[in-house]
A and B are shown apart, each in its own frame.
Chain A
């Protein structure tokens, strides 16, 4: 039984590391796709980089602190990504509502790719969070999100752009966070296993 448990434990650790690596890879992929999306958007709307430089503030999460443990860090990250997805979905809906469906171009395709990729990333961060002892299902905190969007077209376009940048930002944050995470997870799991054993004993 011990051997079986040890095997399970090792498998779980490897699994987590693999999930973290996978999440990192997807985050990198998403970041690349977000950059592409922003390029396409700027090209589409003839915006310059300066006009779209202002961003952030759409996602509301607790401030990053060195005192946050892995679970909280992952929770913060996951929550931010959930808000990003909600904002992105809203932006897509708003754009289609305001500008109509029409023919799907590269921008629309890329926008969908980013949204789908973000969903995949969320699955992995959710797995990591679950592995780190977080809640199994996390309901996104949509309080304070500007889901309605601005009323004027220009503001709408800037709002969409801000959302894209927010996604880009949080994917970058995810990459940074996850790159140092596997050891943390391992240690965290090891600590938790030890504490569980000692509690049983």
Chain B
């Protein structure tokens, strides 16, 4: 019914006022054309055909943003009108077109006339402003006449903005309003209407509608917010060490608003505020006394204020900090007394006593009093003030005392400027009578804290436990009650540091024995790796490495193992050894190879590599060289031995080769030698020998030969050589012409060659004396005495030519023994000077004596040069 009515109204609209499109000869007209359409609502439009019967409503269709609206959404009113209903969605502006199908050429050619559109400006219906709140701030000594309100709005679009109007009405007095498109606005009045009743509301309006917020009807003080209280002062009174008096000034005169206050305070450095109960401060006051504070502690205090009436006004901001220290008081509680035994002094009970300040020092501790029996010490302390204020309880080293073996009671009190604390007691049991430790002590880490767990000892009734942790020289402890089985270390433990954690049971009779474990709060990789080096020189296939343990402060965790890496070329090998190992022998290395080696120390957190060390393995293994040397030596020895054996076995040959036998004329047997029996060595020229030469040496000459050294001998030779003589040895030489026939030492080789061929020595003896110079004329009367000596021939004797030439003289010579020379007349001396020596230096020593010892028979008839 309503829809029909709407359609009728639309039609009336069309007929009463022809649309503007008609003026442009459009055959289609749409309606309505709203300023805005509400997003999320259904919008119905009508398209009407006018001034033509060429098309009907059946030929019409609707498009939204070039998308054709489905026919299901169409409603045909009559032959010339077509409705469409669409759901408005999205915030963008769109066109809704009514179009005509191309049913004829005219429609195609006049397409612009067969269409019409509606601009869809989309928007949201204004939502009711919510959470309306207003505030007036203090301005100088009054409240500002400007009140600012804010509220929460609904969505809106640019094409359909919402305008907000803030209304403020001073009841029975005045009304104000201000408009904005924002969600807050300020209203200015002539004066802030204290105590007057205000009515405030917001109206939201756009083309789609208008809506109002709830109306706030409150007294003006409901909206006020003052400045914070001013001139906060704190008074510390010496007679009240646990109290501070706070005073302040209200920020505004009480004629404008009556205030209540709130106070909060905390210790300096802490951010946990303690609030004074509202019931104590919710009144018009300007001072307050804080009580139950800690003596000698700095407190920070703040105050704020608000309208005294409940639920009216806003709390001011907190005032600036007001800081004051409470007065000192006598220490509360006892010092925490502890000890450790200096184990370095064996046989004595040298005990170091240490203590922590009482939990509440209530001032600066100036000294401690320590008492053992009748002995009393005063230990002054000079801690800085900052130390005492920190949360960490200061540890003071009291006294190192030699205790007797008996049970000792030690009392310690802490003293500050006001007074003395209650005494703390520690009982040192009789020596060797300490009761047993806790059992099954375990340490773990959880949530960044180190926890301990133990079972109590069964040796007595424990009063309490002391948990002690020690690293390096830093020692700390905490006390646990007797029922504790599991606790967390409350001290500031550092990561990556090894702690010796001990639990001491405290008995009524004194301190018990400790149970100790090592633990890390957190482990990391070691700071440095071990420094590896060779124990000694590397071998052929092995090398022994050694390293030192990483210093404790570099370990940063429990060393789980060491990994030894060694690399040659591209080959990397590794060996893992236990953490208690500090040396290792690498085996299976290649000889004469350079290796790089290093060691990684591992914790559960990882590994750290140590330094690189390089070494080169030996070319030969140990003993290999010795074996080779021994072999070579044995071989050499074998050669030597074989040579010696050969020498011994072939002695004669060698001797014959090197030391030929020189015939001893004295031992030779001269046989009769018949000329008829031709000697095989005899040459025809030998026959020319007609006489023999006699070598006659006087005693002085002989002696000179035997005693003088080689040099003098050489000089002697020169002397001999200066004259023309020839040797008579061999007896077959011819002395035809003067020549030098004595060899120098250089000619030794020649001599040896010469002696290599042995010949028989022979002497020709004339049985009947000398018969003249014509031996050829009397050949038949001579006979030969032949020597069987194999003495080698002298040089000249090997040269037949020379022999031939000298034959005439040589034949006159013969050798004789020196002993017989004495028997010779002195006139033979010149002849002897003519005797020719063919000795080398080496031969002279052997040969000459032999010659001297020869058994030549002297020529009894003597010899005279012819």
Contact = CB atoms under 8 A, between A and B. Distances in A.
Contact of B142 (A22, A25, A113): A113
Contact of A123 (B173, B194, B256): B173
Contact of A119 (B173, B194, B195, B255): B173
B536 interface: no
Contact of A29 (B190, B195, B197): B195
A92 interface: no
Contacts of B197: 22
A127 interface: yes
B168 to A, nearest CB: 15
A26 B194 contact: yes
B140 to A, nearest CB: 9
Contact of A32 (B172, B190, B193, B255): B255
Nearest to B194: A29
Nearest to A23: B195
B750 interface: no
B191 interface: yes
Instruction: Report the interface size class on chain A.
Output: 10 to 19
A26 B253 CA distance: 13
A32 B141 CA distance: 12
B252 to A, nearest CB: 11
- Quick one: which of A29, A112, A117 has the most chain B CB within 10 A? A29
A116 B193 CA distance: 9
A80 B503 CA distance: 90
B196 interface: yes
Contacts of A123: 172-173, 196
B255 A117 contact: no
A156 interface: no
Contact of A116 (B190, B253, B255, B256): B190
Contacts of B195: 22, 25-26, 29, 120
Main secondary structure of the interface of B (DSSP, over half): loop
- Counting chain B residues whose Cβ lies within 8 A of the other chain, the interface size class is 10 to 19
A72 interface: no
B38 to A, nearest CB: 41
A89 interface: no
A21 B196 CA distance: 11
Interface in B179-212: 190-191, 193-197
B255 A120 contact: no
Interface in B822-846: none
Given A22-B196, A28-B255, A32-B253, A117 B173 contact: no
A29 B254 CA distance: 9
Interface centre among B142, B193, B196, B255 (most CB of A within 10 A): B255
Given A22-B196, A120-B196, A29 B255 contact: yes
Interface in B248-264: 253, 255-256
Interface string B647-682: 000000000000000000000000000000000000
Contacts of B194: 25-26, 29
Contact of B256 (A29, A112, A120): A29
Interface in A1-16: none
Interface in A177-191: none
Interface in A107-146: 112-113, 116-117, 119-120, 123, 126-127
Contacts of A33: 255
Contacts of B173: 119-120, 123
Contacts, number: 36
A127 B172 contact: yes
Contact of B191 (A22, A113, A126): A113
Interface in A24-50: 25-26, 28-29, 32-33
Nearest to B171: A123
Interface string B231-261: 0000000000000000000000101100000
Contacts of A113: 142, 191
A16 B142 CA distance: 27
A45 to B, nearest CB: 22
A19 B311 CA distance: 20
Contacts of A29: 194-195, 255-256
A117 B255 CA distance: 12
A59 to B, nearest CB: 23
Interface in B78-107: none
B729 to A, nearest CB: 166
A107 B306 CA distance: 29
Contacts of A26: 194-196
B172 to A, nearest CB: 5
Interface string B112-123: 000000000000
A116 B191 contact: yes
Contacts of A116: 190-191
Nearest to A114: B191
Interface string A136-175: 0000000000000000000000000000000000000000
A109 to B, nearest CB: 9
Contacts of A120: 173, 191, 193, 195-196
A182 to B, nearest CB: 15
Contacts of B196: 22, 26, 120, 123
A17 B256 CA distance: 19
Interface string B569-606: 00000000000000000000000000000000000000
Nearest to A29: B255
Q: Which of B142, B190, B195, B256 has the most CB of A within 10 A?
A: B195
Contacts of A126: 172
A32 B252 CA distance: 12
Nearest to A127: B172
Question: A-B pairs with the 6 shortest C-beta distances?
Answer: A116-B191, A32-B255, A25-B195, A29-B255, A22-B195, A123-B172
17 contacts: A22-B195, A22-B196, A22-B197, A22-B219, A29-B195, A29-B255, A32-B253, A32-B255, A33-B255, A112-B190, A112-B191, A113-B142, A113-B191, A116-B190, A116-B191, A120-B173, A123-B173
Given A22-B195, A29-B194, A112-B190, 18 more contacts: A22-B197, A22-B219, A25-B194, A25-B195, A26-B195, A26-B196, A28-B255, A29-B256, A32-B253, A33-B255, A116-B190, A116-B191, A117-B191, A119-B173, A120-B195, A120-B196, A123-B196, A126-B172
